[in-house]
Every structure is written in structure tokens, then in C-alpha cells.
């Protein structure tokens, strides 16, 4: 318990320090590119205004001839953390840039905690687990992607893998499968297509959990009939498989 609290505090300090321009000053933003400025943020602002006005944002009349916000899914209108973000106060009738900066840091803190937890599950040392969390959160794909929906989907990947691994090992299989499904569901609600389809197809791939712990006792093999329907998706999930394999090898090595 003491290590868990200390690790959380250390990861928080590291996130604040790594993104000090966003957390300790008001002179920088992270969303200075067209997709966020012209697409993502206006939709998020519309959702926030509707929610704060006491309305469920079912229809956005400001795009094209109107379109369903929830039907589009990409803004993540039902993602719980987005909903909480929409309750934050505006500044001059617009989303406060400070909240956006802090939300960005929070997402990376979530990524660091999830990857650190996965590394500990794989038997890595405290220091190695903290390093794995930092590498996942501050570097590579998660550290460079600049879309809220993609970030929010990607950060749940370590928890999907963690609970899938536990379920495959027979460690409280029903509870582990439920928690893994919760993480997968959160990724689906995030809005992005990439990190809800690829992990889902990967999770359904037969025997993939064996790659997490080289040399460890064989894991319980999933029943073929459960996974047979996933084989048709193999071309689409190949890129995600490589990314997951590299992350798992880093943690296990």
C-alpha cells in the first residue's frame, strides 16, 4: 500500500515536471494544430455548453446541415472523463485553456499509472515499472499524439492487457474479464476508432497472452469457438499486435 501511494505521487510529480509548461505557466497550449482547433475543440465546446445548460447533446446543428453528436462517436460525448470535463466552468463563454492543459496532463498521468501497473503485474521491479510507466506516457505514440479521442482510447490499452492476462491465467477469471471489459468499454466510449477496434480484436485473438511472459508456465488456452470469429480481422489488427508485442517485451525484458 505504501509503495502504491508513493508510486502514484511520484508519477504525479513526474507528469507535472515533464509538462511544466502546461502545469506551471499559462503561456503554452498543446492543441495548436488544425484538427483540434477547428474540429475537436468546437465539438467539445458544443457538448459542454449543452450539458451546462441542462440538455443532452443529441444533435449538433452547427455542422453541415446538422448531425447527431452521439451517433458520430468521435468526440467521445459519452466518455465519462469528457462528461466531467464538460462540467468545468467556462472562461469568457469558451473552454478555459487551463482546463484543457490540465486534462492533457491528467490523461498522461492515467497512461503512466496503467503502464506501471501492467509492468508490476508482469513481475518487474519497482523502478522498472515506474520507468515503463514514464516511457509509455511521455514517449512514443501516447507522448506524441495530439487528439483527445485517440489519447483517451490508447491509455486504456495496458489495463485491457493486464486483466486479459489475469483472466487467461485463471486468476478470478470472471472478475478479471469484467474489469478488462470495463477498460475496453471505456476505450470504446473515448470516440476513436483505432483504439477500440484493434484492442477488441487483439483481446479476442487466441493464445496471445502467452507472449507476455517468456519462459513462464503456459497460460490457459482460450476456447477456440470464442475466438474463431476474430480471425477474419487479422489484417486490421496486425499493426496493433506489433505495438502491443513491443510494449509487452519492454515490460517483460
- Give the tens place of pLDDT for each residue, 18-47: 999 999 999 999 988 888 888 888 888 888
Distance CA 18, CA 65 (A): 43
Radius of gyration of the chain measured on its C-alpha atoms: 19
Task: Answer with the residue of higher pLDDT: 128 or 212.
Answer: 128
pLDDT digits (tens, 9 = 90+) for 56-83: 888 888 877 888 888 777 778 889 999 9
What average pLDDT does this structure show over 6-10?
93
This prediction has a pTM of 0.78
Residues 6+ apart with CB under 8 A from 109: 11, 12, 15, 137
The phi-psi region of residue 37 (left if phi > 0; otherwise alpha if psi is between -120 and 50; otherwise beta) is: alpha
Please state, for a pLDDT cut of 90, what percent of the chain lies above it: 38
Question: Contact 173/167 with Cβ under 8 angstroms?
Answer: yes
pLDDT value at position 104? 95
CA distance 198 to 177: 17
Residue 64: exposure state from Cβ atoms within 10 A (0-12, 13-18, ≥19): exposed
* Residue 191 φ/ψ region, left for φ over 0, alpha for ψ in the -120 to 50 degree band, beta for the rest: left
Tell me: pLDDT of 147 over 50: yes
Q: Whose CA is closest to 149, among 41, 22, 4?
A: 41
Enumerate residues 6+ apart whose C-beta is below 8 A from 252: 122, 124, 212, 213, 214
* Highest-scoring range by mean pLDDT, 4-8, 100-104, 180-184, 203-207: 100-104
Place of cell 491509455: 155
Amino acid at each position: 500500500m505504501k509503495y502504491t501511494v508513493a508510486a502514484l505521487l511520484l508519477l504525479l510529480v513526474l507528469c507535472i515536471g515533464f509538462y511544466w509548461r502546461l502545469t506551471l505557466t499559462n503561456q503554452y497550449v498543446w492543441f495548436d494544430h488544425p484538427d483540434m482547433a477547428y474540429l475537436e475543440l468546437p465539438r467539445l465546446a458544443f457538448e459542454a455548453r449543452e450539458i451546462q445548460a441542462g440538455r443532452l447533446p443529441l444533435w449538433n446543428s452547427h455542422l453541415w446541415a446538422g448531425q447527431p453528436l452521439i451517433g458520430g462517436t468521435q468526440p467521445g460525448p459519452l466518455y465519462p472523463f469528457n462528461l466531467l470535463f464538460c462540467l468545468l466552468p467556462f472562461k469568457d463563454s469558451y473552454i478555459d485553456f487551463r482546463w484543457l492543459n490540465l486534462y492533457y496532463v491528467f490523461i498522461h498521468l492515467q497512461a503512466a499509472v496503467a503502464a506501471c501497473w501492467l509492468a508490476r503485474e508482469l513481475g518487474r521491479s519497482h523502478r522498472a515499472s515506474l520507468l515503463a510507466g514514464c516511457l509509455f506516457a511521455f514517449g512514443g505514440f501516447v507522448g506524441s499524439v495530439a487528439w483527445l479521442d485517440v489519447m483517451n482510447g490508447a491509455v486504456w490499452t495496458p489495463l485491457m492487457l493486464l486483466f486479459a492476462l489475469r483472466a487467461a491465467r485463471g486468476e478470478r477469471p470472471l472478475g478479471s474479464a469484467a474489469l478488462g471489459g470495463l477498460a475496453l468499454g471505456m476505450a470504446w466510449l473515448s470516440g476513436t476508432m483505432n483504439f477500440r477496434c484493434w484492442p477488441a480484436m487483439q483481446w479476442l485473438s487466441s493464445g496471445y497472452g502467452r507472449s507476455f511472459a517468456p519462459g513462464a508456465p503456459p497460460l490457459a488456452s482460450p476456447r477456440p469457438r470464442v475466438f474463431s470469429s476474430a480471425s477474419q480481422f487479422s489484417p486490421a489488427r496486425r499493426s496493433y499486435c506489433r505495438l502491443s508485442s513491443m510494449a509487452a517485451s519492454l515490460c517483460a525484458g
